[in-house]
Amino acid sequence: MSLDYLIFDYSDSTDGTGTFEAMVSVGPQHVPAVHAEVAAVLAWCHARFGSDCGPVGEGFTWDAELQGQQEFSAREDLHFDVATGRLSARLMPPGTPRHTLTLTLTGDEAFCEALRSHFALD
């Protein structure tokens, strides 16, 4: 299965543990697709390795951390007055929200290899 939104960065440690991290930031129209993709990844993880989910440092095979945030930004209307040499700013109404989701997957070598292979992460 290929992923359209989740682009994972991989790092490994000397103890054989690997970490995949992905951050996605999209407008509201893409949120359902991002959620579906994250759900597919987590469903696969649970189906393949689910009974051994927990802190890898405590002997579990894999673990996941999922975070989300919604941000609104507002444009400033800036104007420079040549006569006074001053800049004035008027805050405009907030725009469309930006949805940011972070997924971190940590696992042992077998988990990392299976995840990499199933989702074509190389």
pTM (2 decimals)? 0.82
- Number of structural domains found in the chain: 1
Tens digit of pLDDT for each residue in 79-90? 999 999 999 999
In a domain? residue 1:
no
The answer to whether 56 touches 63, Cβ cutoff 8 Å, is yes
The answer to whether 99 touches 25, Cβ cutoff 8 Å, is yes
In a domain? residue 4:
no
In a domain? residue 103:
yes
Domain that holds residue 83: 9-118
Tens digit of pLDDT for each residue in 4-62? 999 999 999 888 899 999 999 999 999 999 999 999 999 999 999 988 899 998 999 99
Give percent helix, percent strand, percent coil of the chain, each to the nearest 5.
30, 40, 25
